[in-house]
Amino acid sequence: MTGFIHSPLATAELLGLFGHFLLLSLLAVGGAITTAPDMHRYVVDEHHWISDAQFSASVALAQAAPGPNVLFVAVIGWNVAGPIGALATMSGTLLPSTALTLYASRWGTRRRETRGLRAFTTGLTPLTIGLLLATGWVLAQPYVIDGPHRLGALALVAFSIAVMLRTKLSPMWLVGLGAFVGMLGWV
């Protein structure tokens, strides 16, 4: 349900949206995008506030726009409940992560050479990669499973992976390629 087409969310639902994004913020190892699969589960699968396509478009639009990557959270909130939804999702995402980051960076600076801290930061790498792969799957799913241009979408995903693994080409060229192919209606 979007804020401009259907009735706005009840106060309890807005507080639930805020609270869910607040909790996800504490799990966002590697950035807010790593929690997109659970955001999808919450707003699309569980509450049916927006569709798969709206969710994917929200993320794609915000990622293509200049500015911080976390803006996709505001676009999702906007699509769920208009400006108040954007406020709920953004404040829920930014409050705990900002406070925790300030505290952890000060604490870590004083202890950056300790074995435990180095092991912890090294151990976060595979976790972050796994979360990013899950996010990629959630975002690609509407196009590669049920989409009318399934083969084109799969080819574009495979091509992008191959280019990223074998070259140092900026990912922005691949985003541009995806936009161009989508504009032509091939994917």
pLDDT (average), residues 8-24 = 93
At residue 127, the pLDDT reads 86
Q: Which of 100-114, 129-143, 157-171 has the lowest mean pLDDT?
A: 129-143
pLDDT of residue 144: 80
Among 45-59, 105-119, 142-156, 166-180, top mean pLDDT goes to 45-59
**Both structure tokens of 146:** 């049920």
pLDDT given for residue 124 in this prediction: 87
Q: Where is average pLDDT lowest: 2-16, 27-41, 102-116?
A: 2-16
Label each residue of 58-94 as H, E or C.
HHHHHHHCCCCCCHHHHHHHHHHHHHHHHHHHHHHHH
Domain ranges of the chain: 11-123
pLDDT at residue 86 greater than cutoff 70: yes
Q: Report residue 146's pLDDT band, with 50, 70 and 90 as the boundaries.
A: confident
Query: Is pLDDT at 187 greater than 80 in this prediction?
Result: no
Query: What pLDDT is attached to residue 4?
Result: 45
pLDDT of residue 5: 45
Round to whole Å and give the CA distance between 72 and 62.
5
d(CA 156, CA 158) in angstroms, rounded, equals 5
